[in-house]
Structure 1
Amino acid sequence: MNPIFEEHPHRRYNPLTDSWVLVSPHRAKRPWQGQVEKVAGDDRPAYDETCYLCPTNTRMNGEVNPDYQDVYIFNNDFAALLEDTPPHSFEEDELFKAETERGLGRVICFSPRHDLTVPEMEEAAIRKVVDAWVDEYLTLGGKDFINYVQIFENKGFVMGCSNPHPHGQIWASSSIPDEPMKKQIAQLKYWQKNQRSLLADYIEKELFKQERVLFENEHFVALVPYWAVWPFETMIVPKRKMARISDMTDAEKDAFANAYKRLTVRYDNLFETSFPYSAGVHQAPTDGEAHDEWHWHFVFYPPLLRSATVKKFMVGYEMLANPQRDITAEKSAGVLRALSEVHYKTK
């Protein structure tokens, strides 16, 4: 990195979303007198009789969970999208428009164990989660009214997660949401110009530079993106260009599970706490098109900044003008890269 960029404010371009982030590395030196989050207790039982996601327990709608032994998936009891939404649109003029949105919501329990999170699960168990994601992508995406399948995980109460049981969600919608659409447009533009994948070219250069790469295995690279917004934002990218997670071979699924665990263990080790984040897959729409331009990837957006109790807020300038961060991507990559891949609880 140019020393000027290491010490002075600068903007970085995100080619995936055609947007910019303001980086202000000198601000990391300022004292913190803002809000300090409470650290949630991490001493949970393997089974919680009050948890609506634990095996054999009754959910709010009266349905009883089976005595599941690994991954369990069910229709979200309070889904944001509904399959039976009637088609309707409204357009008074170009300033007032609305249309109904049809879709489906699914909940995926990663494990029957209430006391686990992804970094504490075995790789074989995480691989079952990956398999379930692939199955759901194909099943939901195969419906004629679904054009995008968003797979994601919210970990930790700081991220608004209402239940600590290890789980994620899948929202499948008839329209393509804004963030994937930005990446759709940018990748298509790059593909049409270069006949190459934007992310394939990007990770090739990142592997050569080694400034922001955290680790790699045979099939995946984990790194802090050059354009990261969140303090310890990361991304897992397949080395082979693939449009969707269903394109993975069995070996690649194993490698993805390996990268998922290794990265989240580093997160937990950073502040020796169950590290909160929102994470999810961005991949090709399910609109029947080939989407040769797409290169799927898995992103992590964690809010913690200085410790287990200091959170980064997107307020003020970030909401009104431009995303901003206080430490460079290279600095956060160096911190994460130096961490052990042995979970702090097992030391």
Structure 2
Amino acid sequence: MRKTSRRMADGREIIYFDDTEPYVSGAAVRQAEDTRPLPSAEEVLKGGAQVRYDPLTGEWIAMASHRNDRTFLPPADQDPLAPTVPGGFPTEIAEADYDVVVFENRFPSFSPRNGGSASFVDGDPLWPTRPADGRTEVVCFSSAPKGSFGGLHPRRARTVLEAWADRTAELGGQPGVEHVFVFENRGREIGVTLPHPHGQIYAFPFVPPKAARMLEMARQHRDRTGGNLFRDILEAERRAGTRIVTVGEHWTAYVPAAARWPVEVHLAPHRDVPDLPALTDAERDDLVRIYLDVLGRLDRYHPGPEPLPYIAGVHQAPVRQGRDLFRLHLQVFSVLRAPGKLKYLAGVESAMASWISDTTPERIAARLREVG
């Protein structure tokens, strides 16, 4: 694989990860110029996004009003993630072809270009605020106009995994970044506005609430038992066996005992690993195999031709804290509880974060084994 970094017309970085010739050997190089008349990346931020502290929950809330202007369901011939072909629509990717590409989001939730400094809303110390620093990136899995990670050839999926690991390591080394989250959304039901096969990476300037909560639970578990919570959960699931979906040499896929979504699967490594960069080549190969297997099962979960809408996330250890407690794992879940029927997060779930499942984890796992 060959990595090439370039700059877009507005100053954003774009990175090509090539796994095919003539680029992988260096016989050809990525040198197309982005000539679009774009405003600078700093100008798009319109004074800078910020995060504000919610004293009721202890959470940071990002305020990014410039994102209201982002691209929404464009015509097929104006796909901003497609290659730029001669005489065609000028896209985010200046090259006429590509394998895997990563670039800074044009409408970022977090960006190193935010100006300003820490202060208080209305000058009141009750509400601290600071620039929404960090970085937001788009990961294009393929130049194909439609699809998702599950439709990739294993070799291409491995390249995407290498890009994820590369970006995790690089973003985690940037000043002010506290957590790197890799994810893919699929389906309009999830809110996807571009059908092009892609995902995103958020480099947070804080540890987001779910990661912080898992870290705290892991800390309490160690204080109470001396064990690693993530490892103990995996070992308990493997002992029970009733919710196991599939097992590889280095990874196990299972439905968690307290699954909250209509369809939910976790993938955990057999070794204590904090993040993607720490995986060995053999572990990366096995992750690609088992992940593609699970995604295929999810597409067959409900009868009918419609692909399953889902959110897939890579949960990694925070950059600076709790790395001895946290354990890398992937989570894939769907809001589709039955064909044509979505699980809406209404009163108790949205207002009180108290979850009610419409099925059982054992039924989910049984169905996923059945369609394997």
* TM-score tier after normalising by the smaller chain length: 0.7 to 0.9
In the alignment, structure 1 residue 204 sits paired with structure 2 residue 232: no
- Return the alpha-carbon distance in structure 2 between the equivalents of residues 244 and 100 of structure 1: 26
Q: Secondary structure at the match of 2:263?
A: coil
Gaps of 5+ in 1: 1-47, 341-347
Partner of 1:335: 367
In the alignment, structure 1 residue 262 sits paired with structure 2 residue 293: yes
Partner of 1:67: 96
What is the TM-score of this pair, normalised by structure 1? 0.79
Partner of 1:283: 316
Q: Size of the alignment, in residue pairs? A: 291
Partner of 1:84: 113
- Return the alpha-carbon distance in structure 1 between the equivalents of residues 273 and 85 of structure 2: 39
Shift of 1:89: 2.2
Partner of 2:219: 188
- Return the alpha-carbon distance in structure 1 between the equivalents of residues 237 and 322 of structure 2: 27
Change (3 A) 1:60 1:170: farther
- Return the alpha-carbon distance in structure 1 between the equivalents of residues 226 and 171 of structure 2: 30
What is the TM-score of this pair, normalised by structure 2? 0.74
Q: Which amino acid aligns with 1:88?
A: A
Change (3 A) 1:60 1:184: farther
In the alignment, is the contact (CA less than 8 A) between 1:49 and 1:57 conserved in 2? Answer: no
Moved more, 188-197 or 120-129: 188-197
Partner of 1:118: 149
- Return the alpha-carbon distance in structure 2 between the equivalents of residues 159 and 134 of structure 1: 25
In the alignment, structure 1 residue 293 sits paired with structure 2 residue 325: yes
Change (3 A) 1:329 1:64: closer
Which one has more relative contact order, counting CA pairs under 8 Å at least 6 apart? Answer: 1
Shift of 1:74: 0.7
The CA RMSD measured in Å over matched residues stands at 2.1
Partner of 1:218: 249
Shift of 1:62: 6.6
Partner of 2:175: 144
Q: Secondary structure at the match of 1:153?
A: strand
Gaps of 5+ in 2: 1-75
In the alignment, is the contact (CA less than 8 A) between 2:274 and 2:326 conserved in 1? Answer: yes
1:124-151 superposed Cα distances (whole Å, 9 cap, x missing partner) = 1111111100000001111122111111
Partner of 1:53: 81
- Return the alpha-carbon distance in structure 1 between the equivalents of residues 254 and 196 of structure 2: 27
Q: Which amino acid aligns with 2:317?
A: A
Shift of 1:191: 2.8
Q: Which amino acid aligns with 1:339?
A: V
Shift of 1:61: 9.1
Change (3 A) 1:254 1:226: same
- Return the alpha-carbon distance in structure 2 between the equivalents of residues 151 and 64 of structure 1: 21
- Return the alpha-carbon distance in structure 2 between the equivalents of residues 68 and 75 of structure 1: 19
